[in-house]
Amino acid sequence: MIVNRLIENAMTRAQGAQASLGRSESESISFENDKLKSAESAQSTSMSVKVVVNGKIGSSHTTDIQDIDGVVERALEAAECGSPAHFDFPGPKKGQNVKVYDDAVQAVKKGEMVRTGEEMMGLVKEYNTDILVSAGVHKGVGTREFANSAGIAYTTQSTSFGVEVEGQLIRGTDILWAGHGLGLKKRELDHREMARKTVALFRMAENTAPARSGQMPVIFAPEGMPVLLLALSLGVDGKNVFLGSSPLAGKLGKKVTDERLSITDNPLIDYGGGSGTYDGEGVPHQATPLIEKGVLRNFLYDLDTAGRAGVKTTGNGVGCSPTNLIVNEGTTSYEDMVKYTKEGLLVHSVLGLGQGNPMSGEFSVNLHVAYKIENGEVVGRVKDVMLAGNTYTALKNIMAIGDTAEWAGGTLLTPPIQIANLSVIAR
């Protein structure tokens, strides 16, 4: 393997090294405003080397797989002024077998992708011919070779498949964009369900409902849950904890959310968007409980951050980021959440996620696709409304957790969650 040659070259001067080579092929079909816009194919190759020389880290990347000597030399040169290494490259350790490759993805032809997109658009147009519909279908196949100087050497294959459909409806000065999509590592996705969910968003928006400013209950649909989970993802990042910027630092074993809430980082789910046997550093992936019944249990670490913090890596390299976030199911149906809400909001998507101070948990976002609930019914779409609050306060103030989890975006599996009260600002 090429990665073995990279390691051999690097170890003439380095005390440790790792190398990876990735190859991928992808095809994409896109429709825009009811018409086929493009049919594209792409290939990519990337090669990287990381070395430790005299206790310092150096790395280099290239897309030219013939540049074996060059990429190694640049990594060695970078180590001369690199940051200190706080880790040793891990030795071979067998990881759990996780399904991330689906032969059915490889077999998908462009004609089938076009028909899939056309069918999704057709279902939306059946509901309302005035909606301008766009759609996309994507497939990808990749291979990754990995090796290090401690004896790891393996090759993995993975696939990806995604579909999305969205529409634009113009009524006077009002423009509504709404849609749904999903991407996993398997072919078995129900594209018709994506279209049906998109139609449901438009149907609930047939009427416009006035909103008032004030405190009220808010239901976050699975697609809207990143509003609550962005800050939490940053908070459990081991690097932020080590640097002292995470508000969760020093709170392991303490209650930080409602006791009904449990969240796990789990890359061992077959075909999950963030799933795999190993992380980017050759460490076997593992499921890591983050919150168990409201209690903070773990942070996420890669090799270097774990070494600096004096703990073990959780297999979240490179970067200490979550893989698949899994939120536990509760006992309340979505229908009952709505039914027993006298006045509140249902949030599907927002604009400006990340505004405010995500690290502290503060958020202030414009609602993109959201609806008013009155006397147990969704009565219409709300416009020109903002939502503000604090993630950590909100997660201590949970009103209900839905009993059915759904994938949102491919790396988040969550039920809807209702927060008892958040600040609504209507303009």
- Bridge partners (DSSP) listed for residue 28: 40, 138
Query: Domain spanning 2-204: which superfamily?
Result: PmbA/TldD superfamily (3.30.2290.10)
pLDDT in tens, 56-96: 999 999 999 999 999 999 999 999 999 999 999 999 999 99
Could you please report the per-residue DSSP string of 102-166? -HHHHT--HHHHHHHHHHHHHHHHHH-TTSEEEEEEEEEEEEEEEEETTS-EEEEEEEEEEEEEE
What is the sign, positive or negative, of the torsion defined by CA atoms of 370, 372, 377, 378? negative
pLDDT in tens, 248-281: 999 999 999 999 999 999 999 999 999 999 999 9
CA-based R_g, the chain, Å:
24
Q: Half-sphere exposure of 416 toward its Cβ, with a 13 Å CA cutoff?
A: 19
Give the percent of the chain with pLDDT over 70. 100
What is the sign, positive or negative, of the torsion defined by CA atoms of 310, 314, 317, 323? negative
Distances (CA, A) of 29 to 131, 136, 302, 320: 20, 6, 36, 33
Regarding beta strands 362-374 and 377-381, do their DSSP bridges make them parallel or antiparallel, or are they unpaired? antiparallel
pLDDT in tens, 156-204: 999 999 999 999 999 988 999 999 999 999 999 999 999 999 999 999 9
Asked if pLDDT for residue 100 goes beyond 90, the answer is yes
- Using CA atoms, how far apart are residues 182 and 189, in angstroms rounded to an integer? 8
Residue 224 confidence (pLDDT): 98
Enter the DSSP assignment of 222. G
pLDDT bucket at 355, cuts 50 / 70 / 90: confident
pLDDT in tens, 20-49: 999 999 999 999 999 999 999 999 999 999
pLDDT in tens, 357-384: 899 999 999 999 999 999 999 999 999 9
Domain with CATH 3.30.2290.10 in the chain: 2-204
Enter the DSSP assignment of 48. E
Asked if pLDDT for residue 402 goes beyond 80, the answer is yes
Give the percent of the chain with pLDDT over 90. 97
User: Residue 115 contacts by C-beta under 8 Å, 6 or more apart in sequence?
Assistant: none
Residues 18 and 281 sit within 8 Å (Cβ to Cβ)? yes
- Using CA atoms, how far apart are residues 424 and 427, in angstroms rounded to an integer? 10
Query: What average pLDDT score do residues 385-405 get?
Result: 97
Q: What is the pTM of this model?
A: 0.96
